[in-house]
Chains A and B, each alone.
Chain A
Amino acid sequence: MIAAFFHEIVIAIMAIWADKGARSTMLGATLFFSVFFPQPYLSEVVRDMPVAIIDQDGSTLSRELIRRIDAADAVAVARYAPDMPSARALFLKREVYGIVVVPPKFEHDLLAGRAAPIAAFSDGGYFLLNSVMSSALSNATRSLGAEVQVGRLTASGTDMASAMAIVEPLRVTTVPLFNPTGGYASFVLPAVFVLILQQTLLMGIGNLKAGRRSLGAFSTLADAIVYVGLYSLWAGVVLVLLPWVYRLPRIGDVAVMYAVVVPFLCAVTAMGIAVARLIPTKEGVIFFLVVLGMPLFFLSGVSWPAEAMPRLLHAVAFIIPSTTAVPALVRVNQMGADVRSVETTILIQLGLCLAYSTLAVAVERVKQKRLA
């Protein structure tokens, strides 16, 4: 019995190696995607986004403000434009990604204790550039404004401590957790890597199983064990080794990670076998999976909050293993969550594994009945 089972395991391993399609998805594609996908994000943050300045004041304080804007890592003053139409033209040509207008009398108003507003135009079509611009400007204006205020108060005889207490009576400190630099690769890749595992595993199973007759429960079980085993190794490469190579923050416990990964891979494998039995052609399965990659990423709630999705949609999305596994693994690996924080996900994955196994068996029964 055990020898026969071991024999089935060897057959399952050989089958992956023998099938070109399976070899290239389960071995080649997993690694390829993990190296290829991160490329656009590797610089992590926007640096020196070029902005245009229209300085209508030309005073010491306006130049000081511009210097502080330029000092921000994310932004660089690239051009001085004489007026709005010429700045706009630079913007349309994508030579600058933001425009700052310092109006006349800026210094005069500021020193007189009146509000001295500046105008800024950013790009609403690109969200990241838009927020880069906001934070660079608010830092520069707040620090300059506070200094001028404190200067005015101390000049009128207030001591430094009271002046500070008037200008900033309550300090609000903002602490970004888990991805302290706000790196884009650190944000997207941990989620994408999990999705790559799911999609390539499904594709591989599609390659091996779609349009072929099942060789019995015993052999299918052996196949499933081999897939889960192989992908448990891949999970180590993709979720532990690659983040280290790309220097992504990863603070999680590997044991906790595997407590989620193994049930997740069982669910994906069961789903893959069920789907392969439902969609009769290899091409069909592969195509279906390629197209679904991006929608599944958005459904996982990592880039777009699940709270902002329609309830029903989010509930239906639970039938895909990645929907709950992606956020759970991100929480474990990147945020250091313990087993207790992800136990719901583990139960969901086990439930899905059971449901898809039942489905796969049922489909096979119906098929055999038709043949009989």
Chain B
Amino acid sequence: MAQRAHLKAGFRRALLAELRQIGARPGLMFMLAPFPLLLFALLAAVFQLGLPRDLPIAVVDQDRSTLSRQMVRIVDATPEVAVAHEASSLSEGRQLLLSGEAYAVVLIPARTERDVLAGRRPEVVLFYNNQYMTPGSLVARSVGGALGTVAAGISIEARVARGADVESATQAVTPVPVRQSALFNPSLEYVQFLLAAVMPTVLQIFIGASAALSFSRDRQGVAGLGRSLRLGGTLMRTATGKLAPYTLTYLLVLWGADALLFGPMGARFGGNLAFHVAYGLVFVLASQMLGAAAALIARDTVSALAAIGVITGPAFGFTGITFPRLSMNGFSTVWADLLPVTHYLELRTDNILRGASFDISLPAFVSLATLALAYGGVTLLLLWRHGRPRPAIAVEAGR
């Protein structure tokens, strides 16, 4: 200690003090890099397959005809779906839905084939579990498509039987085909979509919480924030010295996760790398300032962490990645704007997926920087207020 005592107050001294604090706490060290990377690995494993395959469905075939068997075969052949159960009745199919063993039930009523041949337009019904919306709608789309193919085949045969040639009969089946393509993320990969958005949202919790812990600890310690300020000399140097180790580590985690995403996991990077680095840095800073400000406003460490939990924990719903922002209520829109990750994800989408030019991204970048400055301003102000030497603490100066 005596050796370090001559080190002048300033950024380096605040930084070294913080590093010693981190070094003394293995739990904190774990939460800096290994824990977020572990969570990334976990989430990557969850979405590893990109698109679900062979989701189980049930079939109630009451017709048992050539046509009904053909329908079952074609449905089973779609990659997303597998006919896992042959139920004998609709109530048995319902039980499979309720126990979660099937996502959908296809009902082929008796006499379907006969009615088709007689031109009576029988009805095949697809019941699907829309409570599990992601798999449910995926199953509905692929099974609906497969049954549509069967119907189209019959329609073509009918036209050919009436003397049309195969070419025009085929065209007549879908008179207005829609050639839909996704402008961005054309492969509709969940890895790009969810993992790339979930990871920064989880990191925002880590970044905010670590900054909150760092400031709370000093504030609740016996020496209070006064000591931290004496180490740093000025407000600015204290704050930057204290936060620098976390800024650096989380930036490395953020970019490390990106390196994995765009490297081995094969996501496409279509944007400007320098800009990506820039808004990544501002995102980390803004999240840190949010955490620091919370720590200086809250009464104790647990409340500070709880506040960060409340702000950053439910953030994902507000970012608009799953349920779009354009359909949110006023409160959610405003709240989302106050979260650094909302703007970060928008910038990411614009830059990486859309390759948008800088002027498109400017408003989001300005919003993100404004948040960093605003939360930073609150932090510095409160740091000044709480760190002022007070008569009560003056005794401790003679230590």
Contacts and interface: CB of A to CB of B under 8 A. Distances in A.
Contacts of B45: 309-310, 313
Interface in B96-125: 97-100, 103, 112, 116, 119-125
A260 to B, nearest CB: 13
Most B CB within 10 A of own CB, among A129, A302, A307: A307
A121 B134 CA distance: 21
A93 B357 CA distance: 11
Interface stretch (A168-176, A222-230, A356-364): A168-176
Nearest to A61: B176
Interface stretch (B150-158, B226-234, B390-398): B150-158
B326 A46 contact: yes
B317 A41 contact: yes
A287 B305 contact: yes
A119 to B, nearest CB: 5
Interface stretch (B250-258, B281-289, B306-314, B366-374): B306-314
A10 interface: no
Contacts of B320: 40, 126
Interface in B204-239: 205-206, 209, 213
Interface residues of B, number: 117
B52 A308 contact: yes
A336 B309 CA distance: 33
A166 B158 contact: yes
B180 A133 contact: yes
Contacts, number: 337
B305 A174 contact: no
B78 interface: no
A128 B174 contact: no
Interface string A46-66: 110110000000000000010
B313 A295 contact: no
Contact of B172 (A113, A302, A308): A113
B42 interface: yes
Interface string B26-42: 01000100010001001
Contact of B360 (A92, A133, A342): A92
Nearest to B318: A40
A123 B326 CA distance: 14
Interface of A: 20-21, 24-25, 29, 32-33, 36-37, 39-43, 45-47, 49-50, 65, 88, 91-93, 97, 99, 110, 113-131, 133-134, 137-138, 141-142, 144-146, 148-149, 161-162, 164-180, 182, 184, 186-188, 190, 207, 279, 281-284, 286-287, 290-291, 293-295, 298-299, 302-305, 307-310, 313, 327, 330-331, 334-338, 340-342
7 contacts: A40-B323, A113-B168, A166-B155, A172-B148, A175-B128, A290-B309, A304-B194
